C-alpha cells in the first residue's frame, strides 16, 4: 500500500454475517480491522477526512474534522487544567542549545531527535535556488523545542523567590518537534500538538501530589471525555522520561490488543531545579531547591480514539468530543419544495441547539451542502458523527425524521442501516439522553473489550511465549508479578521481553498487591506489572 486508501464509494466487500440469514453488510470502508489493522487505521484517517500528508517528513496537515476533535479535547482538558489552579503561559519555540547541556540524562534522552536552527538568512545559490547564508550563522544554535522543561526552568528560576511563590503552576499549549525515525499519523509525528504542564513545589510531597493530580486528571479526561478506558500506573525505571525521578502514565488498549501510552506525568525531583537554579527561600530563611513536575497529553490521543472506537465503517467519535454531535441531512431534490424542507430542519436544529447534554450545549449541524443525501450520510458515518438525521419531504409531511445511531449502525436482520423513524418532537425530547447513552456505550464497549483481553495468572516466561504464540490476532495484555529488579537486572528482563516484542507498560496504581513469585527471577514478587506490545 503505497498511498492512503481512497475514501470514495468502495468496491463493496460482501460479507455474510455468521448466524444470520444471507445478510450482507456493505461497509463504508474497504479495509476491515481484522484483515489489516495498520491499513485500516490509515483508511479511517483518510475516509473521515481527519488529516493528510504534508510532503514534509513526519508532518501532517490536520484537517477540520481532525482538528475539530483536537479542539474539543483541548477545551475539556483546558477546563480541567484551569480548575486545578494551573495558569496558561506561552514559552518560545526556540531553546538555546546550552539549556539542554545542563541536565545530563535529559540531553542524552533527546539529543538524537532534535531539530536545530543554525542560520537566520537565505541567499541565492546562483542556480535559482536558496541556501543558508554562511555569513548569517547563529552564534549559538537554537533547538526547536522537543519539550520545554529547560526553558520553563529558566523562567521558574526568575519567578520564584520565596516559599510564598509556591507552588508555581503553569501550562502551555504548543507544538513540539522530535525527529522521529518512524512516523505514523497522530501516533508518532515529528511535529505534534500537545499541552505541557510544568509546576514547581516546595517539597517532594507537594510535587508528588501534583504528579498524581495530573495523572488522575488524564484518567478522568480519557475515560469521561474520550470514552477511552485507561490504566494509570508508574513506568518502570527504564521507561522514565529523561531527567525524571518518577514517570507515571495512562495506558489504553487498542482494538488490536496493543497498548498506547496516552498521557504521562513526571515527578522530576530537584534535577531540573539544580540545572536551572530554581530555588526559594524557606520560612527559616534558608535556600531550598524546588521539586518540579511536568505532564502532557498530545494529538496522539486522536490516534487512540481511532483505534479504540473506530469500526469497519470508519470513525466513531464519542459525543463529548464530537465537533458535531448531531448532523441533520435534508433530502434535497433541487426543487422549490427544498425551501420548506430546510426550514423544517432548521426548526429541528433550533430545538436541539437550545438543549444541553454532557454538561454542554448540543452541537448540531444542518448539512445543506448540495448533493445526494445518501452520499452525505456515508460521509458522516465515516467521520463518526454520533447521531445522523435524515429528513425527506414525506417525513416532513408526517412531522417525522429518520434517525441513525452511529454506534448501532446496522440492522443485523437484513444488513441495512438501522434507521429509526420517529417524530421530530419525540427525537428532540430524547436527543440529549441518546448522546449520553452513546458516550456511555462507547466507553462500556471499550472497557469490556479491554478487560476481556488482560490475562492474569501467567507465572512463567514459557507461558508468556505460548500465550503470544496462541493469540496472535489479539494477544492483549498480561498482568504478571515481579520483584522489581533495577539496573542491569532490569535490562536483562527487558531483553527477554523484547524477544516477544513486549514491553513493560506500567505498574497499575490501583492494582492488587503481589502474592506470588517474580516471573523473571523467581524471587518473591513485590508488585504487579502490565506487559504488552505497544505503539
Partner RNA sequence: CGGGGAGUGGCGCAGCCUGGUAGCGCAUCUGUUUUGGGAACAGAGGGUCGCAGGUUCGAAUCCUGUCUCCCCGACCA
Restricted to residues 252-311, the positions that interact with RNA (CB under 7 A) are: 261, 263-264, 296-298, 300
SS3 432: helix
Q: Looking at 159-167, 184-192, 223-231, 348-356, which segment touches RNA (CB under 7 A)? A: 184-192
Residue among 271 and 481 whose Cβ is closer to RNA: 271
Least Cβ distance, residue 191 to RNA (angstroms): 11
Least Cβ distance, residue 163 to RNA (angstroms): 30
Residue among 412 and 452 whose Cβ is closer to RNA: 412
**End-to-end alpha carbon distance in the chain:** 20
Report if residue 181 touches RNA, rule: CB under 7 A: yes
Report if residue 141 touches RNA, rule: CB under 7 A: no
Residue of the chain from 20, 57, 120, 121 that contacts RNA (CB under 7 A): 57
d(CA 373, CA 334): 12
d(CA 285, CA 384): 59
Least Cβ distance, residue 172 to RNA (angstroms): 14
Residue among 29 and 525 whose Cβ is closer to RNA: 29
Q: Looking at 206-214, 219-227, 374-382, 521-529, which segment touches RNA (CB under 7 A)? A: 374-382
Residue of the chain from 63, 188, 405, 474 that contacts RNA (CB under 7 A): 188
DSSP 153-184: HHHHHHH--BGGG-SEEEEEEEEEE---SS-B
* Residues 449-488 interacting with RNA (rule: CB under 7 A): none
Residue of the chain from 120, 204, 456, 498 that contacts RNA (CB under 7 A): 498
Residue among 5 and 483 whose Cβ is closer to RNA: 5
Residues 144-173 as x/- pattern, contact with RNA by CB under 7 A = ------------------------------
Residue environment code for 237-251, b if the CB has 16+ CB neighbours within 10 A, otherwise e: bebbbbbbbbbbbbb
d(CA 220, CA 231): 11
Q: Which residues contact 523 (CB under 8 A, 6 or more apart)?
A: 483, 517
Count of residues touching RNA (by CB under 7 A): 73
Q: Which residues contact 232 (CB under 8 A, 6 or more apart)?
A: 215, 216, 218, 219, 248, 249, 250, 506, 508, 509, 510
Least Cβ distance, residue 60 to RNA (angstroms): 8
Residue of the chain from 14, 22, 112, 470 that contacts RNA (CB under 7 A): 112
Inter-residue contact 355 to 433 (CB < 8 Å): no
* Residues 228-247 interacting with RNA (rule: CB under 7 A): 239, 241-242, 247
By C-alpha distance, which of 422, 424, 419, 236 is closest to 348? 424
Report if residue 3 touches RNA, rule: CB under 7 A: yes
* Residues 390-419 interacting with RNA (rule: CB under 7 A): 390, 392-397, 400, 402, 416-417, 419
DSSP 463-502: HHHHHHHH--S---EEEEEE----HHHHHHHHHHHHTTT-
Least Cβ distance, residue 469 to RNA (angstroms): 15
Amino acid at each position: 500500500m503505497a498511498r492512503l486508501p481512497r475514501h470514495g464509494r468502495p468496491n463493496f466487500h460482501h460479507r455474510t454475517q455468521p448466524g444470520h440469514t444471507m445478510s450482507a453488510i456493505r461497509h463504508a470502508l474497504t479495509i476491515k480491522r481484522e484483515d489489516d489493522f495498520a491499513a485500516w487505521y490509515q483508511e479511517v484517517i483518510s475516509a473521515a477526512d481527519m488529516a493528510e500528508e504534508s510532503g514534509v517528513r513526519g508532518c501532517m496537515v490536520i484537517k477540520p474534522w481532525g482538528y475539530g476533535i483536537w479542539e474539543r479535547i483541548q477545551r475539556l482538558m483546558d477546563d480541567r487544567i484551569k480548575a486545578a489552579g494551573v495558569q496558561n503561559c506561552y514559552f518560545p519555540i526556540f531553546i538555546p542549545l546550552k539549556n539542554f547541556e545542563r541536565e545530563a540524562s535529559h540531553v542524552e534522552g533527546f539529543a538524537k531527535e532534535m531539530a536545530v536552527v543554525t542560520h537566520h538568512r537565505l541567499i541565492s545559490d546562483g542556480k535559482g535556488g536558496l541556501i543558508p547564508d554562511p555569513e548569517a550563522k547563529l552564534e549559538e544554535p537554537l533547538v526547536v523545542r522537543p519539550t520545554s522543561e529547560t526553558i520553563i526552568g529558566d523562567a521558574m528560576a526568575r519567578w520564584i523567590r520565596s516559599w510564598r511563590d509556591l507552588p508555581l503552576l503553569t501550562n502551555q499549549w504548543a507544538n513540539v518537534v522530535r525527529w522521529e525515525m518512524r512516523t505514523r499519523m497522530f501516533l508518532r509525528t515529528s511535529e505534534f500538538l500537545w499541552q505541557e504542564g510544568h509546576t514547581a513545589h516546595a517539597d517532594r510531597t507537594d510535587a508528588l501530589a501534583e504528579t498524581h493530580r495530573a495523572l488522575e486528571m488524564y484518567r478522568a479526561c480519557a475515560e469521561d471525555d474520550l470514552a477511552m478506558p485507561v490504566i494509570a500506573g508508574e513506568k518502570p525505571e527504564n521507561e522514565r522520561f529523561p531527567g525524571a525521578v518518577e514517570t507515571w502514565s495512562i495506558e489504553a488498549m487498542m482494538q488490536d490488543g496493543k497498548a498506547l501510552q496516552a498521557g504521562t506525568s513526571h515527578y522530576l525531583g530537584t534535577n531540573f531545579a539544580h540545572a536551572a537554579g530554581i530555588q526559594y527561600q524557606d520560612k527559616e530563611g534558608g535556600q531550598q531547591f524546588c521539586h518540579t513536575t511536568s505532564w502532557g497529553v498530545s494529538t496522539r490521543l486522536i490516534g487512540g480514539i481511532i483505534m479504540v472506537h473506530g469500526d469497519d465503517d470508519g470513525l466513531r467519535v464519542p459525543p463529548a468530543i464530537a465537533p458535531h454531535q448531531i448532523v441533520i441531512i435534508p433530502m434535497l431534490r433541487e426543487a422549490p419544495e427544498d425551501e420548506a424542507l430546510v426550514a423544517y430542519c432548521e426548526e429541528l436544529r433550533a430545538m436541539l441547539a437550545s438543549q444541553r447534554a454532557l454538561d454542554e450545549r448540543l452541537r448540531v449541524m444542518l448539512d445543506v451542502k448540495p448533493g445526494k443525501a445518501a452520499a452525505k450520510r456515508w460521509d458522516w458515518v465515516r467521520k463518526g458523527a454520533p447521531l445522523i438525521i435524515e429528513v425527506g419531504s414525506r417525513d416532513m409531511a408526517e412531522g417525522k425524521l429518520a434517525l441513525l445511531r452511529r454506534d448501532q449502525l446496522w440492522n443485523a436482520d437484513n444488513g441495512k442501516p438501522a434507521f429509526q423513524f420517529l417524530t421530530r418532537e419525540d427525537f428532540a425530547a430524547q436527543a440529549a439522553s441518546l448522546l449520553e447513552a452513546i458516550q456511555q456505550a462507547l466507553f462500556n464497549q471499550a472497557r469490556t473489550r479491554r478487560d476481556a483481553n488482560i490475562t492474569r495468572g501467567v507465572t512463567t516466561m514459557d507461558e508468556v511465549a505460548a500465550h503470544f504464540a496462541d493469540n496472535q490476532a489479539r494477544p492483549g495484555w498480561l498482568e504478571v508479578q515481579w520483584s522489581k529488579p533495577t539496573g542491569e537486572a532490569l535490562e536483562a528482563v527487558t531483553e527477554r521481553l523484547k524477544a516477544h516484542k513486549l514491553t513493560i507498560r506500567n505498574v497499575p496504581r490501583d492494582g492488587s498487591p503481589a502474592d506470588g513469585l517474580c516471573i523473571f527471577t523467581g524471587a518473591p514478587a513485590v508488585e504487579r506489572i502490565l506487559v504488552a506490545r505497544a505503539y
